[in-house]
Copies of this chain bind each other. A is one copy, B any other.
């Protein structure tokens, strides 16, 4: 038995499926399908967020994303609209019928985030923020746990174990690229880790090709690869005007690019082998 107990494949028969209630129809993650989470990096303004949400809502997206609290390397960068951003996310949910997910960085903000949103995200910088992990472990909402920039697969599963051990079993892992020596891309997507984690754990695994590569043109091929490797879904940045995005513009798809990718994904999904 590995050090991560509740997270381990041996813990149960079959894969964990996580259901997220939604007006348009509940979303299930981990049922052999491909869940597509999409939206802009940050909620930049009410108008812009609602606009992109409406643009993509019928393009195959299952869950809307958008950052209200943004972890930024520099204290002088745009760090999100905070509670105002959460309210916009809730409004987008009402408008589109789709559930919304956003990142939480501070245990003191968790109640607000769970009040407004349907799913919580722990970002890669906080993968070993154990105070935060324990706190989301007490929450009732599903949690997306991104892999840390330099986290081994074992550390990632143990971070997951913190959440399960605190009582929240609705955890979805997300591979978002690790830090290596390669300079042309923002990170290195560890595609084999997706298959490895599916072997080691019963939990669903997503891939974030946007942060994983940092390059718009690589989002589609890496998304296809993720599904082919067995990922349960994707987390993709989409912006109606990437060149004017306040963060991550160079890795965001336009709605048109996203629509085309989503169609490809649905084709590969049907083909699911072995």
Contacts and interface: CB of A to CB of B under 8 A. Distances in A.
Interface of A: 3-5, 71-76, 79, 105-109, 125-126, 128-131, 148-150, 152-155, 158, 161-162, 165-166, 178-185, 188-196, 199, 209, 212-213, 215, 217-218, 220-222, 224-230, 260, 264, 267-268, 271, 273-274
Given A75-B162, A107-B106, A192 B189 contact: yes
Contacts of A268: 228, 268, 271, 273
Given A129-B129, A181-B181, A271-B267, A73 B221 contact: no
Nearest to A223: B228
Counted per complex, copies of this chain come to 4
Nearest to A71: B130
Contacts of A196: 184-185, 215, 218
A12 B178 CA distance: 34
Contact of A228 (B128, B155, B227): B227
A195 B181 contact: no
A218 B195 contact: yes
A273 B228 CA distance: 12
A253 to B, nearest CB: 13
Most chain B beta-carbon neighbours within 10 Å: one of A129, A227, A230, A260: A129
14 contacts: A4-B74, A75-B165, A76-B165, A105-B130, A108-B131, A148-B150, A150-B150, A153-B184, A178-B188, A182-B190, A192-B221, A192-B222, A224-B229, A268-B268
